[in-house]
Amino acid sequence: MLYDENENENMEVIDELNKRAHLRKKAIICGMIILCCVVVIIISIVVSVKMKKKNDNHPKQGSSVAATKPQEIKHIQIAQHDMEQIKSKFVPKENPNAQEEITNIYYSDEKVAYLTFDDGPSKNITPRVLDILKQENVPATFFVLGSRVDLNPDLLKREYDEGHYIANHGYSHNYSQIYTSKDTVFEEYAKTEEAIRVALENPNYNTHLFRFPGGSSGGRYDGVKGEAKGLLRDYGINYTNWNCLTGDAEGRTTTDSQMECLIQTMEGDGAIIVLMHDASDKSYTAEALPSVIAYLREQGYTFKNFYEIF
């Protein structure tokens, strides 16, 4: 075969082109790797900064937390207070994280029961409830009506002196009066706070906690309630509802029927906030209370009140 000089030159050109193509390919691959690394680093920095801000900054005082389940909530650590402090006229303290901690109760796996009583104090039912709680050594929270406090200041003082948490349920419990506007909601709250202070002879007492009559949302007054939550939040006032009830305000007048309602509504929950009432027409609430406490103990529950947060 004859030697072809042109063919040799062509082969050299092809080799050179192949080398350049290979180098370009390597450069592109290296560039893509570097770009990916830069993107990953940037994303990591952004996430770290956001997480740091979330952990370092406290939420706005009394901020409202949406009623949606948090993505990652397991066991909630709730602040502890010494019961001797509570029994020796312990005054609730402002907690800038209170609304978040209250919301977290609903999603905690911890078996804790917050027994709450609305619409009192009343002369015939509240003493019976207090006697049972004292006998069973169970702390509770009383969401009191200002109008009832004015009539029964001695009972409010007994609730407080025996270590129970005093919270605010408005003054009148008259929906059309309370929910005229967000301002009337705040006025009812403020009027009840003053009634509590007078009864306790403590001008600096602050409950820090409100329960909307009928719940904090829904119904014909839903819009006003939403506006009122914003106003209360501006003043550092927190609110809570319930995730369990005995049905004593829904026609459950026997112990068996109340226990049935309790068991149904607490199903699947860890921590529970139990709604009950100590108004003057709720004698069956007091009758069912020992069974409620006994059942919850059998299920492994311990009892707390909102001194755990404030």
Q: Which residues are identified as catalytic?
A: 118, 277
Amino acid identity, residue 273? I
The residue behind tokens 């290979």 is 22
The whole-angstrom separation of Cα 254 and Cα 240 is 27
277 touches 120 (CB < 8 A): yes
Classify burial at 151, counting beta carbons within 10 Å of its beta carbon; exposed 0-12, middle 13-18, buried 19 or more: middle
* C-alpha 263, offset from chain centre: 21
156 touches 196 (CB < 8 A): yes
Selection from 187, 185, 140 nearest residue 167 by Cα: 140
Question: Could you tell me where the beta strands, DSSP code E, fall in 130-189?
Answer: 141-144, 165-168
C-beta atoms surrounding 88 within 10 Å: 10
C-beta atoms surrounding 124 within 10 Å: 13
The whole-angstrom separation of Cα 97 and Cα 105 is 13
What are the beta bridge partners of residue 168?
144, 210
The whole-angstrom separation of Cα 160 and Cα 45 is 50
